[in-house]
Amino acid sequence: MIKTEFTRLFGVEHPILCGGMTGYGTAPLISAVANAGALGFLTALTQPTPEDLVKEIARTRELTDRPFGVNLTILPTIDPVPYDEYRMAIVEAGITVVETAGSSPEPHLPDFKAAGIRVIHKATSVRHALSAQAKGVDLISIDGFECAGHPGEDDVPGLILIPAAVKALDIPVIASGGIATGAGLVAALALGACAVNMGTRFIATDEAPVHEAVKRQVVANSERDTRLIFRSFHNTARVARNAVSEQIAEIGSRPGATFADVAELASGARGRQRVLIDGDVDGGVWWAGQTQGLIDEVASCREVIDTIVAEAADIIGARLPGYLSGRETEHTDAR
């Protein structure tokens, strides 16, 4: 097994996370990730109310006795979100690790710290990571441009962003975005990260709470089958390429366009119902990263994690030493 500062801090077997994913991060998936030895995060705002989040935490605990966390994403929304109530639900439920994302986590840190909760903050740039470190977060998940969701506005890919963050920060760094294989895990560790965060890879799993058509589409898609939307609104998002995301991108490129012009098409409720539940992959917006091009099958969370760890161990133990010594090995091929 591969042991890092991350596995020691959180008492998990593998340096792998399933970060918060709106619409996906519920008990069936997150408990399966935990039972496979990684660290998964329920998505707080997937639950309609703080009370529903408490119930989902309890449901997850019925399915696993291993560590898991909760993601709290702080973003502008059409309807106001009772963030203080979600935060207190997390604290009172006895969660020990929280992943924050979006806007500054600062308003939430005093309560989390008082409860002994470690905070991983997801950032898309070194400057934002430094700001979060100064505010007191415990780890940074640095999100490269390849990622699903919101990659920021700088367009810096992980191969540059990960080591830049490691160099600048004094706290541990988790590599996020563009990772779906054991080779990706090894690369992230070589760049100085203590773990990897995957999202899209976990969509194509048996336990992901989405329609089978979505899982099959992730496998069928290539690395080119994502679309950047909301660029003109300075809130860039990477989503699966489909009829709706193409329409949103086209409308957004028109002079004077505002978010109101695409709000109905981009509605999270629409995407969850038509795509994730009904299985119409062209029916709404749904998150997916460029790692779609690296995903070849739908498998269980345990199979995914075991395969990634085994591949990483093979690369570290067999393939790379051959390069260092100059010896030919069965692994030194054209790959």
Region class of 280: left (phi > 0), else alpha (psi between -120 and 50), else beta: beta
Q: Rounded to the nearest 10 degrees, what angle do helices 50-63 and 83-92 cross at?
A: 30
Pairing state of beta strands 226-229 and 237-240? antiparallel
Span between the terminal Cα atoms of the chain, in Å: 24
* Record: fold of 5-203+301-325: TIM Barrel (3.20.20)
pLDDT higher than threshold 80 for residue 335: no
Q: In angstroms, rounded to a whole number, what is the distance separating the alpha carbons of residues 198 and 261?
A: 32
pLDDT attached to residue 332: 42
Each residue of 45-67: pLDDT tens digit? 999 999 999 999 999 999 999 99
Each residue of 116-174: pLDDT tens digit? 999 999 999 999 999 999 999 999 999 999 999 999 999 999 999 999 999 999 999 99
pLDDT attached to residue 333: 41
**pLDDT band of 327, cuts 50, 70, 90:** low
pLDDT attached to residue 78: 67
Burial zone of 167 (CB within 10 Å; 0-12 exposed, 13-18 middle, 19+ buried): exposed
> When comparing pLDDT for 326 and 92, which is higher?
92
pLDDT higher than threshold 70 for residue 334: no
Helices (H) and strands (E) counted in the chain, each on its own, are: 15, 10
Are 173 and 144 within 8 A, CB to CB?
no
Region 91-113: what's the mean pLDDT? 96
Domain boundaries, the chain: 5-203+301-325, 212-290
The CA-based angle 131-132-137, given to 5 degrees, is: 150
Stated pTM of the model: 0.93
Q: In angstroms, rounded to a whole number, what is the distance separating the alpha carbons of residues 146 and 188?
A: 14
Q: In angstroms, rounded to a whole number, what is the distance separating the alpha carbons of residues 133 and 104?
A: 11
pLDDT higher than threshold 60 for residue 113: yes
**Dihedrals φ, ψ of 177, to 5°?**
95, 125
- How large a percentage of the chain has pLDDT more than 90? 91
What's the mean pLDDT when you consider all of the chain? Answer: 94
Q: In angstroms, rounded to a whole number, what is the distance separating the alpha carbons of residues 270 and 208?
A: 19
pLDDT attached to residue 79: 76
pLDDT higher than threshold 50 for residue 331: no
